């Protein structure tokens, strides 16, 4: 089992070696700034700001499982409208994508679940070289920021009631 985990970590690291930034420095942007500058998280960043979470996610050390704009495009328009109308629900959904602390891919693949800031746990599953979190496929890992790390996922996660 340990060899399999090590292999997955090596595969993920090699596949996404170009996505991690050099060693941490004081000038490095925070996770919200990194997401905003990436160009593929405009919906996520807008919703984070609308929910009033940008400040907290800019200062706390966090790991964000970040859905792309393409992932948000798959969400029914009525669901997005409901989230925008209900700030508490929006915060809940967004915090379901965030884990306290820095959880790089090499550590994530050793876990079976991760507790989110929303309060629920996201199941983590490794099948061959594919990693899923809450059923969403992790498509890019270890995008470094001053206060954490971003892993890109292919769909929006909605916590159960």
Over residues 39-78, the pLDDT tens digits come to 999 999 999 999 999 999 999 999 999 999 999 999 999 9
Q: What is the CATH number of the domain that holds 127?
A: 2.30.180.10
Inside any domain, residue 158: no
In whole angstroms, give the CA distance from residue 34 to residue 44.
12
Which stretch of 10-14, 27-31, 51-55 has the lowest confidence by average pLDDT? 10-14
| Phi and psi at residue 75, to the nearest 5° | -75, 130
Q: How many domains does the chain have?
A: 1
pLDDT digits (tens, 9 = 90+) for 106-151: 999 999 999 999 999 999 999 999 999 999 999 999 999 999 999 9
Inside any domain, residue 160: no
113's enclosing H/E stretch is strand 113-115
Inside any domain, residue 14: yes
Which residue range(s) make up the domain with 34? 2-153
Inside any domain, residue 116: yes
Q: How far does Cα 135 stand from its chain's mean position?
A: 13
pTM of the model: 0.83
């Amino acid at each position: 089992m340990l060899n399999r985990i090590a292999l997955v970590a090596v595969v993920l690291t090699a596949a996404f070696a170009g996505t991690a930034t050099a060693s941490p420095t004081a000038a490095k942007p925070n996770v919200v700034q990194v997401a905003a500058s990436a160009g593929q998280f405009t919906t996520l960043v807008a919703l984070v700001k609308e929910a009033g979470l940008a400040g907290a996610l800019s200062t706390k050390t966090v790991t964000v499982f970040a859905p792309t704009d393409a992932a948000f495009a798959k969400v029914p328009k009525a669901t997005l409208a409901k989230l925008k109308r209900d700030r508490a629900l929006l915060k809940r959904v967004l915090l379901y994508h965030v884990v306290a602390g820095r959880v790089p891919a090499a550590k994530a693949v050793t876990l079976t679940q991760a507790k989110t800031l929303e309060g629920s746990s996201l199941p983590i599953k490794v099948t061959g070289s594919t990693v899923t979190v809450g059923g969403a496929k992790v498509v890019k890992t270890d995008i470094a920021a001053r206060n954490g790390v971003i892993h890109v996922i292919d769909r929006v996660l909605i916590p159960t009631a």
